Amino acid sequence: MNEPTYILVHGAWGGAWCWRDVGLELTNRGVQWTALDLPSSTHGAHSNTYLADDANDVIEVASLEGPVVLVGHSYGGAVITEAADRVANLQRLVYIAALVPTLGQSASEANQELPVRTMLDDAIEIDGDFLRLNSDLAAKAMYQDCTDEVTAWAVSQLTAQSIASLRSPREGFDVDVHSHYVLCTNDNAIDPSIQQVMSQRCSEVAMLESGHTPLLSQPSVLCDLILTNN
């Protein structure tokens, strides 16, 4: 059987750049992978860019590959959940500090299942139909365990995020494939208590002593977890 391609899906305000270090690690291990920029987070994104639009881009990429594993970080978890039932050769789902909305639920609603406020909430600024992040607060919310150099680089890459993408409901149905959740225990963006709720919707969970973005703080350890059951 052909080895799967890992399709890496970033979270809100991010881009394919988030996977820089994970991608290098996967390449060094001989693993096929690809990452994409979600339309809800790109520069010049339309205000009416919904969860379904992000999922459609993932589905399009997946259709060009053989067997695939979908990997979603943060909001990217909602995206791969929405896309999963339309990916023909899906082998597995991997969630990293991710939102896993139920059918009919939005990413924002999933994140509000428990009344917990985080540093990320404090960093969010409304700009019309988009949300932006305060740079200093975003650094503390998402990159507190990264090096100063990596943090500065990541914060400089952050974009606006369409509000519609976060508030639009999941319409994709559940799929009968293995799902693995990586729960980041020191997360200042999506509280670990929320992640615990999300992880109960998956086949298994692994704990990682990490902030919100192990993609950049612990790429090698994270790859070990991503490749579990490969």
Helices 135-142 + 148-157 axis angle, to 10: 120
Model pLDDT for residues 15-24, shown as the tens digit of each residue:
999 999 999 9
Average pLDDT over residues 143-161: 98
In this prediction, what percent of the chain has a pLDDT beyond 90? 95
Q: Is the pLDDT of residue 228 over 90?
A: no
E strands, 88-203, are 90-96, 124-127, 130-133, 161-162, 178-184
Amino acid in position 127: D
Give the count of beta carbons closer than 10 Å to the beta carbon of residue 128: 9
Q: What does pTM read for this prediction?
A: 0.98
Q: Quick one: pLDDT at residue 230? A: 64
Listed residue (189, 172, 8, 190) closest to 102, CA to CA? 172
Torsion of CA 209, 211, 215, 218, to 10 degrees: -40
Six-digit token string for 33? 């992978």
User: Which residue is associated with the tokens 């009919």?
Assistant: 104
Domains of the chain in sequence order:
5-226 (3.40.50.1820)
Cβ atoms 64, 89 nearer than 8 A: no
